[in-house]
Amino acid sequence: MDNQLSDMIQSLSLSSNECRIYARKQLDSWLDSSLTLLRNTYNEKLNEIDQLFHTLNEDLEIYKQRQLITITRQKHNLLNQEIKQLQEQLPILIQVKNTPGSIYDLEICRSTNIIDRPTICSILRHSLLQTEPVQSYRFSSTCRAMGCNSKRDEILLYEKDELILYNVNGTLGGSVSWSTMEDGFVSDITWCSILDCFLVLGRMILSLFDTHLYTCTNIQQVRGSQSHYLIALTYVEQDKSVFICSHHPIETIRQYGPLPEWNLKNAWSKDNLINQDDIGIRCIRVNQSGTQLGLVIKNKKDQFRIGLYSMDLTHIFSTIPIIPSSSLLKGIRSIDFMLYLTPFIDDHLWLIVYGNGIHEHSLLLVNDQTGKSETIIDDSILNVCMLDEQYLLVRMKQSMLIYDIQ
């Protein structure tokens, strides 16, 4: 038995080359399949380059037309820099990103986003950063409240102890005094079509500002107190009612109407609307179609979110966190965090003015369909509002600017 095993061991040999031939066949098979994959991938990427080239041609034409149409309103120094940058990019506009030897991270892409087709966000950013305002008023202010009347192109601003009326064309309409000591700082302003006047919400009282007579009439049914300030309001055209939010824990939101009567129609407590770890509601607005209420909610960590509610505040459709730019995240807590909400263009878009009350103020665009917010601009922005769905009014620390965003 030992001799037989010894002979078997001695007979083991690779001299026939069978394993080498087998391995080479496997390698040849790998080469054939790899070359096929490479050829297919190469042809796919050639098609992608041709398709991207066609798209870029179309995008470039759209870009040229857009710049030529708005050239008179643009800041020429910024446009000149952008055109020079684009000229440098044109020969290398299509990029092929890859790792040598790998097909899985092979990517065909454009080298710049300058000629990307405009989105709502990019149009708005371009309007605010690269175009000249159609109108501007120069004055220094730290007050935030303002409202506009599209019917007569009027803007009402709160400035310390005054309510100041401007026309969009730049003319000063007039002013009326506001007793900040008695009625509190003005926290919000909105136009009310059914009453043909501005609703001016102080911390202690609601007043009607008549733009014809330049008078303020207090609404006795609506009152705040030293411990329960009035915060924000919105007028609902569809049912002729007004929603007002306050610090009051039992009547956090009150609904009055139908106007012109100021009957208390409904009231909602804080516990019925928000979470236990929330401090309160900081703003309320109705969307363009009058089908949803947007509430800005602040928690104990100085974090904000938007809650989109049914008009009877019994159902919440979605919640969107407000994520400020990094310039606002400075590790400083402030009791003066502020945030204004403005419906924008359609029912799904909202503008947010976010400020920490100390340093920076940002303008954000929120899409309630995607649940995302995007910073438009970081600057000293105090408030914004829309006029005729074409003009954006921007109140800043040193000026009031009006932009054509069409």
User: Alpha-carbon distance 144 to 261, whole Å?
Assistant: 29
Domain boundary among 98, 117, 136: 117
pLDDT of residue 335: 44
CB 93 within 8 A of CB 112: yes
**7-43, pLDDT tens digit by residue?**
677 766 766 678 888 889 999 999 999 899 989 999 9
Assess if residue 369 is contained within a domain.
yes
Statement to judge: residues 214 and 335 lie in one domain: yes
Residue 342 and residue 278: Cα distance in Å, rounded? 22
Q: Which pLDDT tens digit goes with each residue over 129-145?
A: 788 888 888 877 778 89
350 belongs to a structural domain = yes
The pLDDT of residue 329 is above 50: no
Q: What is the pLDDT of residue 334?
A: 44
Residue-level pLDDT at 134: 83
| Mean per-residue pLDDT, 163-177 | 87
In this structure, the chain runs to a length of: 406
Q: Summarize pLDDT for 44-97 with one digit per residue, the tens.
A: 999 999 999 999 999 999 888 888 887 877 788 888 888 898 899 899 999 998
Write the CATH number for 268: 2.120.10.30
Write down the pLDDT at residue 359. Answer: 47
Share of the chain above pLDDT 70, in %: 93
Question: Taking 60 as the threshold, does the pLDDT of residue 181 lie above it?
Answer: yes
- If asked whether residues 400 and 304 sit together in one domain, one would say yes
Do 91 and 135 belong to one domain? no
Residue 332 has pLDDT above 50, yes or no: no
Segment 229-247 mean pLDDT: 95
DSSP assignment string, 226-259:
SSS-EEEEEEETTTTEEEEEES-SSSSEEEE-ST
Of 89-98, 119-128, 227-236, 342-351, the one with minimum mean pLDDT is 119-128
If asked whether residues 101 and 168 sit together in one domain, one would say no
99, pLDDT greater than 90 = no
Q: What H or E segment, with its residue span, contains residue 77?
A: helix 76-89
Task: Determine the average pLDDT of the residues in 185-192.
Answer: 94
The last residue of one of the domains, among 117, 138, 154, is: 117
List, for residues 194-223, the tens digit of each pLDDT value: 999 999 999 999 999 999 999 999 999 999
Q: Which of 87, 117, 147 is the last residue of a domain?
A: 117
> Residue 67 has what pLDDT?
85
Across 352-359, average pLDDT: 65
Do residues 164 and 63 share a domain?
no
Biggest CA-to-CA distance, the chain = 125
Q: How confident is the model at residue 336 (pLDDT cuts 50, 70, 90)?
A: very low
| Reported confidence tier of residue 360, pLDDT bands at 50, 70, 90 | low
Give me the domain span that covers residue 65.
25-117
346, 264: one domain: yes
Residues 77 and 200 in one domain: no
Helix, strand or coil for residue 151? coil
Angle between helices 76-89 and 120-130 (to 10 degrees): 130
Is the domain of 43 the same as that of 113?
Answer: yes
Higher confidence at residue 78 or residue 101?
Answer: 78
Helix or strand (DSSP H, E) at 24: helix 18-69
Range with the poorest average pLDDT among 1-10, 154-163, 295-304? 1-10
Into how many domains does the chain fold?
2
Cα distance between residue 397 and residue 78, in whole Å: 23
123 lies in a domain? Answer: no
